[in-house]
């Protein structure tokens, strides 16, 4: 380690003020601090000791929480591939197909996103923030397995530049960056991100008889009878019970790479809540909001989708993934503790509302979170005002 340190110290003066690569100081700083926690000490006045946490560790904890979703997603991409073409395959073959599809997407997402981060940090002269370590992993997890890589790159560029840097960079973005990428694809290439895209079929491969790539949300939206029946009978002949309640929870089904399994999302959510990195208030209230809205629609609704039992809303689509990993993004969520309850609850409500009443967009969670991202400052405004009012009232007593 001493050798590495010596090499870095040897290079350092080139990047410091007056050095020949002075412009790239923050790029150097990012690498240096990745390898070594700096030797900087606290200032002469103020706190003399600091907490052992830093932003890197915080972000790393989120990435660790995503690992169950990622690993499951890789396997599931392979599993769905062989299911659709009707071939039996070993575990390693499934993982092989999964890796072949998922790893390039991850590489593209990180390479493009971090590239932009470095460019902006050099132009703007600010440190490279570690936030993209999480975003760069979130983007692949919300992509369909069959998405073209150039679309991943384009979506990442759009999300990082328009979604984040245009607002001033990390910590100042209004919209969740990963969801912005997803929404960009959704609206820019609507035909590419619907229909058969949820399963990787392979070039020219024949699908098994009776195969359909429809997602549970699409089935529910098109249903004319009993949605639960339609879901249970879907896949008969080639994938029996693929949309049964149990399997919807486990997530062995077509969908975005990382968000099919409610179970894996809950494991990730547990990691975030136990480590205190993600707000349990937001996660809980998203589920509560969706369940409450589901119950309400059961009571008053008339079309088949409204009669879908409320608990189904918690396991279909990307609700769990969105609640755990997207809604909890501290930068774009409400920042007051009371605000977090309201914010999460409204996300849950809007998710179900969009799902049930807006046939054009079967997946409601993405739009619900983006919508509430925009409203989060307003929620905070009211919570902060209530705090101010308490102080004012006291003054007049």
Contact flag: residue 136 with another protein (CB under 8 A): no
In the stretch 282-321, what mask flags binding to another protein with x, by CB under 8 A? Answer: ----------------------------------------
Contact flag: residue 202 with another protein (CB under 8 A): no
Backbone angles phi, psi at 395, to 5 degrees: -65, -30
Which of 169, 216, 235, 318 lies at the binding interface for another protein (CB under 8 A)? Answer: 169
- Is residue 306 within 8 Å of residue 296, measured between CB atoms? no
Contact flag: residue 10 with another protein (CB under 8 A): no
Burial of 25 (C-beta count, 10 Å sphere; 0-12/13-18/19+): buried
Which of 31, 37, 226, 303 lies at the binding interface for another protein (CB under 8 A)? Answer: 37
Which of 13, 53, 166, 236 lies at the binding interface for another protein (CB under 8 A)? Answer: 53
Dihedral sign from CA coordinates of 151, 155, 156, 158: positive
Which of 76, 170, 215, 351 lies at the binding interface for another protein (CB under 8 A)? Answer: 170
In the stretch 332-371, what mask flags binding to another protein with x, by CB under 8 A? Answer: -x-xxx--x-------------------------------
- Is residue 199 within 8 Å of residue 146, measured between CB atoms? yes
Which of 57, 124, 125, 206 lies at the binding interface for another protein (CB under 8 A)? Answer: 57
Q: How many residues touch another protein (CB under 8 A)?
A: 63
Measured from the CB atom, the residue of 2 and 246 that comes closer to another protein is 2
**Window contacting another protein (CB under 8 A); options: 44-52, 89-97, 153-161, 186-194:** 44-52
- Is residue 317 within 8 Å of residue 290, measured between CB atoms? no
* Residue 343, H or E segment: helix 337-357
- Please state, in angstroms and rounded to a whole number, the distance separating the CA atoms of residues 306 and 352: 9
Which of 43, 191, 225, 237 lies at the binding interface for another protein (CB under 8 A)? Answer: 43
Contact flag: residue 5 with another protein (CB under 8 A): yes
- Is residue 365 within 8 Å of residue 347, measured between CB atoms? yes
C-alpha Rg value of the chain to the nearest Å = 23
Measured from the CB atom, the residue of 161 and 172 that comes closer to another protein is 172
**Window contacting another protein (CB under 8 A); options: 68-76, 136-144, 225-233, 325-333:** 325-333
**Window contacting another protein (CB under 8 A); options: 148-156, 164-172, 189-197, 361-369:** 164-172
Least distance from another protein to the Cβ atom of residue 120, Å: 12
Closest CA to 181 of 108, 262, 235: 108
- Please state, in angstroms and rounded to a whole number, the distance separating the CA atoms of residues 229 and 225: 8
Burial of 386 (C-beta count, 10 Å sphere; 0-12/13-18/19+): exposed
- What region, left, alpha or beta, does residue 210 occupy, with left being phi > 0 and alpha being psi -120 to 50 degrees? left
Least distance from another protein to the Cβ atom of residue 169, Å: 7
* Residue 285, H or E segment: helix 280-300
Token representation of residue 246: 């149990």
| Chain residues 250-289 in contact with another protein, contact rule CB under 8 A | 274-277, 279
Contact flag: residue 45 with another protein (CB under 8 A): yes
Closest CA to 156 of 128, 176, 180, 173: 180
Least distance from another protein to the Cβ atom of residue 14, Å: 18
Contact flag: residue 204 with another protein (CB under 8 A): no
Closest CA to 75 of 316, 270, 251, 317: 251
Contact flag: residue 40 with another protein (CB under 8 A): yes
Contact flag: residue 191 with another protein (CB under 8 A): no
- Please state, in angstroms and rounded to a whole number, the distance separating the CA atoms of residues 210 and 227: 19
Which residues here bind another protein, judged by CB under 8 A? 1, 4-5, 29, 33-58, 60-61, 64, 126-127, 129-131, 169-172, 274-277, 279, 330-331, 333, 335-337, 340, 380, 384, 387-388, 390-392, 394-395
């Amino acid at each position: 380690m001493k050798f590495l340190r010596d090499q870095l110290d040897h290079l350092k003066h080139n990047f410091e003020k007056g050095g020949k690569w002075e412009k790239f100081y923050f790029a150097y700083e990012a690498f240096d601090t990745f390898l070594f926690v700096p030797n900087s000490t606290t200032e002469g006045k103020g706190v003399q000791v600091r907490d052992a946490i830093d932003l890197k560790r915080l972000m790393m904890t989120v990435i660790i929480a995503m690992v169950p979703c990622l690993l499951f997603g890789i396997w599931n991409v392979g599993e769905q591939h062989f299911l659709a073409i009707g071939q039996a395959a070993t575990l390693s073959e499934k993982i092989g197909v999964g890796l072949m599809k998922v790893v390039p997407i991850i590489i593209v997402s990180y390479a493009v996103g971090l590239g932009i981060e470095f460019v902006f940090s050099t132009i703007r002269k600010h440190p490279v923030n570690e936030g993209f370590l999480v975003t760069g992993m979130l983007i692949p997890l919300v992509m369909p397995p069959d998405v073209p890589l150039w679309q991943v790159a384009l979506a990442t560029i759009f999300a990082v530049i328009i979604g984040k840097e245009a607002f001033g960079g990390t910590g100042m973005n209004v919209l969740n960056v990963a969801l912005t990428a997803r929404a960009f694809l959704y609206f820019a290439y609507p035909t590419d991100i619907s229909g058969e895209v949820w399963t990787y079929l392979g070039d020219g491969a024949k699908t098994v008889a009776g195969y359909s790539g429809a997602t549970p949300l699409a089935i529910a939206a098109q249903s004319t009878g009993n949605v639960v029946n339609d879901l249970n009978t879907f896949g008969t002949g080639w994938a029996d019970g693929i949309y049964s309640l149990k399997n919807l929870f486990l997530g062995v089904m077509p969908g975005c790479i990382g968000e099919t399994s409610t179970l894996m999302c809950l494991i990730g959510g547990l990691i975030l809540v136990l480590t205190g990195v993600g707000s349990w208030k937001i996660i809980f209230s998203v589920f509560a909001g969706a369940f409450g809205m589901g119950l309400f629609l059961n009571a008053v609704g008339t079309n088949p989708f409204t009669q879908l039992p409320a608990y189904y809303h918690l396991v279909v689509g990307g609700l769990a993934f969105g609640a755990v990993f997207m809604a909890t993004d501290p930068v774009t969520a409400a920042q007051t503790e009371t605000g977090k309850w309201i914010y999460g609850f409204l996300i849950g409500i809007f998710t179900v509302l969009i799902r049930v009443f807006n046939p054009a967009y079967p997946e409601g969670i993405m739009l619900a979170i983006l919508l509430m991202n925009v409203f989060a400052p307003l929620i905070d405004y009211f919570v902060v005002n209530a705090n101010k009012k308490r102080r004012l009232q006291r003054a007049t007593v």
